[in-house]
């Protein structure tokens, strides 16, 4: 896989259902086909309503992380436990309008928090600048609560121009779509980003 050879560390897969977000992408069959073509961890981001009905299928398809949205889960704690019981990593994503405090009572159950830095649904959008203070705030909270093993992931509008600021604010994982896939030279972009991040 090109991005793996170029130095990507993880494959982030956007699953969209045309309900929670106004776009439709892939399902478990595609996740399992990608699993066969890479050794990188698969980070499956479920932008779907009623994710609890589909967790088993994405776990069986080979997800190493499953991330569900705070906004789609009526019984978030139960859904987190279902993912954890399968032995893979669990993440919770928050939309740009959702304050981090909604995670206060479940955050210690998590492996990852995904801060959406665009409104979910489409690639190619502009990074929402307020996300920087959100990343700082989460990073500070994790430090204060002795939860620094929880990874902070940032998704949407990441480019060569802002990746340093995003990383310095405290993110551990940055998801990059258009900046790589719409580039004339994706390998070079990955290598430049890795060098900015000292990877």
Ligand X SMILES: O=C(CO)[C@@H](O)[C@H](O)COP(=O)(O)O
| Interacting positions 3-62 with ligand X (CB under 6 A) | 14, 45
Alpha-carbon Rg for the chain in angstroms: 16
When the beta carbons of 135 and 158 are compared against ligand X, the nearer one is 158
Local structure of 187: helix, strand or coil: helix
Which is catalytic among the residues 43, 79, 111, 155? 155
Structure tokens, 51: 């994710």
Give dist(CA 166, CA 158) in Å, integer: 8
45 known member of a binding site: yes
By the 8 A CB rule, do 83 and 55 touch?
yes
Using CB under 6 A as the binding rule, the residues of this chain from 175 to 194 that contact ligand X are: 175-179
7 is annotated as contributing to ligand binding: no
- The mark string for 147-176 relative to ligand X (x by CB under 6 A, - otherwise) is --------xxxx----------------xx
Which residue sits closest to ligand X, CB atoms considered?
A: 177
In degrees to the nearest 10, what's the CA dihedral of 70, 71, 74, 78?
Answer: -20
Pairing of strands 42-47, 65-69: parallel
Report, in Å, the least distance between residue 139 CB and ligand X: 21
User: Could you give the 3-state DSSP secondary structure of residue 50?
Assistant: coil
Binding-site size for ligand X (CB under 6 A) equals 18
Least separation in angstroms between residue 89's CB and ligand X is: 18
Q: Which residues of the chain form contacts with ligand X (CB under 6 A)? A: 14, 45, 118, 120-125, 155-158, 175-179
Q: Which residues are catalytic?
A: 14, 155
């Amino acid at each position: 896989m090109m991005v793996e050879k170029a130095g990507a560390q993880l494959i982030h897969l956007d699953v969209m259902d045309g309900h929670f977000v106004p776009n439709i992408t892939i399902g478990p069959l595609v996740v399992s086909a990608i699993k066969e073509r890479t050794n990188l961890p698969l980070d499956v981001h479920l932008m779907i309503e009623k994710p609890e009905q589909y967790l088993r299928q994405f776990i069986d398809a080979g997800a190493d992380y499953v991330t569900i949205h705070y906004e789609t889960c009526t019984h978030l704690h139960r859904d987190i436990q279902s993912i954890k019981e399968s032995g893979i990593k669990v993440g919770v994503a928050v939309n740009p309008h959702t304050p981090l405090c909604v995670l206060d009572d479940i955050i210690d159950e998590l492996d990852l928090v995904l801060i959406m830095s665009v409104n979910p649904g489409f690639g190619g959008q502009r990074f929402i600048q307020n996300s920087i203070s959100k990343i700082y705030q989460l990073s500070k909270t994790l430090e204060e609560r002795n939860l620094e093993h929880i990874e902070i992931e940032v998704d949407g509008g990441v480019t060569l121009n802002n990746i340093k600021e995003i990383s310095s604010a405290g993110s551990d994982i940055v998801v990059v779509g258009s900046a790589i896939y719409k580039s004339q030279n994706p390998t070079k972009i990955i290598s430049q980003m890795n060098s900015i991040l000292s990877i």
